[in-house]
Amino acid sequence: MAFSINRLDTKGWWMVGNSHIYIPAIETKVEHSNVVGSDSGRDETGIMHIDWVRRDVIKVFLVYKYMTAAELQYIFNLLQGKEISFTCRDRGQTVTFDGYVGESNYVFYSYGPNGEEIYKDVSINVIQK
């Protein structure tokens, strides 16, 4: 029988489409960025002129301290190589956006009690389209 390290979110705070994902570690980070156009820059008087192309693009850096091979496969099957609807917590609210996974990585750690592989320092970066 396989064992689990992580707990699936049951509140609907962490989801891919209609599928619940594992509650991430406290080190999970949410970043908001703005995109400026090529016409942005300072003029001859030193005044900055900004050509806003897009504001408030969300990036979520999911972190899991440890995952079993089955947990890792489950979340990768939902995220990798697809455009997704992603739900997360941000500033006390649940937000959903269309996005994709930019990068993901992990380190092989050890074997579990039943010989299942365990990975550590799992990070998955979800970026708003």
pLDDT value at residue 125: 97
pLDDT value at residue 4: 86
pLDDT value at residue 71: 96
User: How far apart, in Å, are the Cα atoms of 107 and each of 40, 42, 111, 120, 129?
Assistant: 41, 44, 13, 5, 28
Tell me phi and psi for residue 25, to 5 degrees: -70, 160
pLDDT value at residue 51: 85
Domain ranges of the chain: 15-128
pTM of the model: 0.86
Are 41 and 51 contacting, i.e. CB atoms less than 8 angstroms apart? Answer: no
pLDDT value at residue 26: 95
Query: Which portions of the chain are predicted below pLDDT 50?
Result: none
